[in-house]
């Protein structure tokens, strides 16, 4: 009589899937793009010419560097949790937790947006009662929860089908638009009276949003039998996404009447006076065919939001799961289903939170999420530089792993652009976004202290390499928390000087230009100045006391061979270069 195998939970209990490069490409397409929806808001904000410029330049200075950084880390550390694991390996438990917290909480915040958008699109096709609206939301969440509970392979299969439908639809838009070229698509370059700074400021945050999400695929790397397909998929997905943005937008701007660029909107073409990608089909094809094409494109918009929700449910559900596996979150989150090998508690919890949040006004929540995202894109490049020192390129080459070409000098480009652009975006997004985002950012250290003391952290499994200080935190955490406070305080204190000039003296923004704090922006800027100064002083005191009483453990000499084996022990069928 055979003995029944005990149930394994945590990362070790996940089922591995034979996912091909194409599956990774289409999951990435859904995570980052799922069509060009969203660009409609950039056109009237930045101008037609500036929009096309940003869509063409950002793949070079933003998407390519970030996707390459993710590809390099995914090749050498293809572990469940992605960016969290890379930052933890580079800078330790505290900073790893912050990164995992930012990435996971941002997914929890935004996933409800996609469900609410589907409800909004469907209501344009048919009237819905409140009960019907709730039934639609529950149905959508339930369907894709079931898909995710079946496993990552099924998520990839659904993503492939939905991606192909979306790509075909936008190809049709591009072809119809370009074949009906009748106006200059980049004229005017910017709205009348705009300076170059105004144009960039009006479009940069949307451009960042449209080209972000490449790192999310790494959250599921531990479930891929051959993780070297992830760097390959990144190299294909990035230009595919850029083309999906540029060509349909160019086709729309060149085929619609001059001056119509001011009326572009995400609601455009769907029974409204606004202009959108559906308008390109309805106006240029005309008659019943054009009307039918407009409705078909509304269905594509619904498919797009479903595709994004499906993949972010997969990616986001792994965040707290991996933190719990390192004893940095409650242990019930490490539960893995016996037959399918998926983190079902993480999937179900994200689905429940999504349903709750999709009933809400997202304005304040999304303003918090933007800062989480930009903070992640600042720490990721810094981690890549540190990992280059800890895991030398020469050792990686011996294993045929993907490495960004060009040596250390190339890292100035690959790491410098994301950091500079992220900081700039933090400062042009508005006082409301900076204030709410920094408050949300400070939730990270608070959550870390609570979970570290309540769950034990890495010291439970490796006390020798993760010793505790007198407060029950990791040794050196006083210094790290102090450094965090100084950074957050500096962003608030010095940022408010810039914002007073950029928004008030230079831009003459009014209450209508803000999403939150509309009528009390001067008071918020004063709070940033006072709060920032307090955080800087508090952080500096913690930092210097920590240096004397709680100095971080010096980096020990790393066993490179053992570390690489630890992350590369997954079953493989080929190397990156095969």
Distance CA 143, CA 133 (A): 16
Yes or no: say if 433 and 87 are a contact pair by the CB < 8 Å rule: no
Distance CA 331, CA 341 (A): 17
Yes or no: say if 330 and 128 are a contact pair by the CB < 8 Å rule: no
Task: Record the pTM.
Answer: 0.90
Q: Average of pLDDT values for 41-61? A: 92
Q: What is the CA radius of gyration of the chain?
A: 24
Yes or no: say if 573 and 226 are a contact pair by the CB < 8 Å rule: yes
Q: Which of 355, 319, 333 is nearest to 145 (CA)?
A: 355
Distance CA 182, CA 258 (A): 9
Yes or no: say if 11 and 325 are a contact pair by the CB < 8 Å rule: yes
Helix 93-125 vs helix 83-91: angle between axes, to the nearest 10 degrees? 160
Confidence check: pLDDT of 575 > 60: no
Among 23-32, 187-196, 290-299, 493-502, the minimum mean pLDDT is found in: 290-299
Q: Which of 179, 187, 203 is nearest to 39 (CA)?
A: 203
Q: Average of pLDDT values for 457-482? A: 90
Residue 574: predicted pLDDT: 40
Distance CA 173, CA 279 (A): 9
Confidence check: pLDDT of 231 > 70: yes
- Position 61 confidence tier, pLDDT thresholds 50, 70, 90: very high
- With H, G, I as helix, E, B as strand and everything else as coil, classify residue 568: coil
Yes or no: say if 387 and 73 are a contact pair by the CB < 8 Å rule: yes
Yes or no: say if 466 and 474 are a contact pair by the CB < 8 Å rule: yes
Q: Which of 232, 226, 283 is nearest to 254 (CA)?
A: 283
> What do you get for the CA distance between the two ends of the chain, in Å?
44
Express each pLDDT in 89-132 by its tens digit: 999 999 999 999 999 998 888 888 888 888 878 877 778 888 98
Distance CA 430, CA 201 (A): 10
As to burial, measured by CB atoms within 10 angstroms (0-12 exposed, 13-18 middle, 19+ buried), residue 180 is middle
Residue 361: predicted pLDDT: 62
Residue 15: predicted pLDDT: 85
């Amino acid at each position: 009589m055979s003995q029944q195998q005990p149930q394994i939970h945590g990362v070790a209990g996940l089922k591995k899937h034979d996912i091909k490069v194409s599956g990774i490409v289409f999951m990435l397409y859904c995570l980052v793009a799922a069509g060009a929806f969203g660009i409609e808001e950039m056109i009237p904000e930045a101008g037609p010419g500036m929009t096309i410029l940003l869509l063409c330049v950002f793949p070079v200075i933003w998407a390519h560097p970030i996707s390459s950084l993710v590809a390099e880390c995914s090749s050498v550390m293809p572990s469940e949790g992605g960016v969290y694991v890379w930052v933890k390996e580079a800078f330790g438990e505290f900073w790893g937790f912050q990164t995992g917290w930012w990435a996971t909480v941002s997914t929890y915040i935004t996933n409800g947006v996609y469900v609410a958008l589907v409800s909004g699109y469907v209501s344009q096709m048919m009237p819905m009662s409140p009960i019907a609206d709730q039934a639609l939301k529950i149905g959508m969440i339930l369907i894709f929860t079931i898909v995710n509970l079946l496993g990552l392979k099924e998520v990839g299969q659904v993503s492939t089908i939905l991606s192909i439908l979306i790509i075909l639809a936008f190809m049709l838009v591009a072809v119809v638009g370009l074949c009906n070229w009748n106006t200059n698509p980049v004229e005017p370059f910017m709205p009348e009276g705009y300076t170059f700074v105004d144009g960039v400021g009006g479009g940069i945050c949307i451009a960042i949003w449209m080209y972000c999400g490449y790192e999310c695929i790494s959250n599921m790397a531990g479930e891929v039998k051959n993780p070297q397909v992830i760097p390959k998929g990144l190299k294909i997905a990035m230009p595919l996404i850029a083309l999906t943005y540029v060509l349909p937008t160019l086709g729309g701007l060149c085929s619609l009447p001059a001056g119509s660029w001011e009326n572009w909107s995400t609601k455009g073409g769907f029974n409204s006076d606004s202009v959108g990608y559906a308008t390109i089909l309805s106006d240029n094809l005309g008659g019943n065919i054009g009307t039918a094409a407009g409705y078909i494109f509304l269905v594509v918009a619904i498919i797009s939001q479903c595709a994004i929700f499906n993949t972010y449910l997969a990616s986001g559900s792994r965040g707290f799961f991996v933190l719990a596996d390192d004893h940095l979150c409650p242990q019930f989150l490490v539960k893995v289903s016996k037959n399918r090998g998926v983190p079902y508690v993480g999937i179900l919890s994200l689905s429940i939170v999504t349903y709750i949040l999709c009933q809400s006004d997202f304005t304040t929540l999304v303003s918090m999420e933007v800062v989480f995202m930009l903070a992640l894109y600042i720490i990721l490049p810094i981690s890549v530089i540190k990992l280059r020192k800890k895991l030398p390129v020469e050792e990686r080459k011996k294993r045929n792993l993907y490495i960004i070409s060009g040596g250390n000098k190339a890292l100035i480009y690959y790491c410098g652009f994301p950091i500079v652009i992220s900081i700039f975006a933090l400062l042009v997004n508005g006082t409301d976004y900076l204030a709410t985002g920094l408050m949300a950012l400070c939730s990270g250290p608070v959550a870390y202290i609570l979970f570290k003391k309540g769950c034990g952290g890495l010291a439970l499994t490796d006390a020798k390499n993760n010793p505790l200080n007198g407060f029950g935190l990791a040794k050196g955490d006083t210094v790290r928390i102090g450094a965090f406070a100084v950074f957050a305080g500096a962003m608030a204190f010095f940022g408010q000087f810039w914002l007073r000039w950029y928004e008030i003296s230079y831009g003459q923004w009014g209450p209508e230009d803000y999403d939150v704090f509309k009528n009390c922006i001067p008071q918020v800027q004063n709070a940033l100045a006072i709060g920032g100064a307090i955080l800087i002083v508090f952080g500096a005191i913690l930092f210097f006391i920590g240096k004397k009483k709680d100095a971080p453990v010096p980096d020990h000499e790393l066993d490179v061979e053992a570390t690489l084996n630890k992350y590369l022990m997954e079953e493989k069928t080929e190397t990156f270069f095969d």
